[in-house]
Amino acid sequence: QSVLTQPPSVSGAPGQRVTITCTGSRSNIGTGYAVHWYQQLPGTAPKLLIYDNNSRPSGVPDRFSGSKSGTSASLAITGLQAEDEADYYCQSYDNNLSGVLFGGGTKLTVL
Amino acid sequence: EVLLVESGGGVAQPGGSLRLSCEASGFTFGHHAMHWVRQAPGKGLQWVSLISWDSSRVSYIGSVRGRFTISRENSKNSLYLEMNSLETDDSGFYYCATKADRYTSAYGGFDFWGQGTLVSVSS
């Protein structure tokens, strides 16, 4: 089954570090396809946060970092700020789907 | 500046049809694969369809295959999604999107997104 699994929610206090995991399978992340991460604020289109596993687009703070290993990937956010409160999605390509696959999304709450 | 502007959303009855358009500017549209992504109210992102730069390859998520048709006109910098036999589960915002790197634009990592157009399927 072609699924990318994320925790529904994570939380942390300002200044803390949080990680969001994205678990896939051999038909997607495990094949070697890149993992990308998006941040979505309410009422807005998603914004690319991390591309190709661990690269940041221009303008994205280095508090955001990505990693990938085997069939999983992670997004780490350090020095949490109130403005980081948003929904976060991982994405990869899937051979079974012959298309792009999104994770279910994780809501980050800054306490 | 890259712009993707969707249009064509609206209200349709179950079984009805809508045609979405996405007009692109600020980049060489004809070099990039293009995608449609949707988001139901309060739900997550769902990839819907992709079309290669030259229209030689198209792909759909299973729930829309046979009902939706993706197409493009590179001469008009435009992407389309013909939506037939609409179901209530098709409701949501529809975004067109692509990646700055044209060589990997079929695989995700979307730098560029439109603002979305809202589709509401209801009787």
A29-73 pLDDT per residue, tens: 999 999 999 999 998 999 999 999 999 999 999 999 999 999 999
What residues of chain B lie within 8 A of the CB of A2, using their CB? none
Give the residue-averaged pLDDT of A88-97. 96
Q: What share of chain B is helix, strand, coil (3-state, %, to 5)?
A: 10, 50, 40
B118 at A interface, C-beta within 8 A: no
B50 at A interface, C-beta within 8 A: yes
Q: Does the pLDDT of residue A111 top 80, yes or no?
A: yes
B109 at A interface, C-beta within 8 A: yes
The predicted pLDDT at position A67 comes to 97
- Those residues of chain B that have pLDDT short of 50 are none
Nearest residue in B to A39, CA atom: B45
Q: Does the pLDDT of residue A1 top 80, yes or no?
A: no
Nearest residue in A to B50, CA atom: A99
Give the whole-angstrom CA distance, residue B66 versus residue B6.
22
The predicted pLDDT at position B101 comes to 87
Letter for the amino acid at B63? Answer: S
Mean pLDDT of chain A: 96
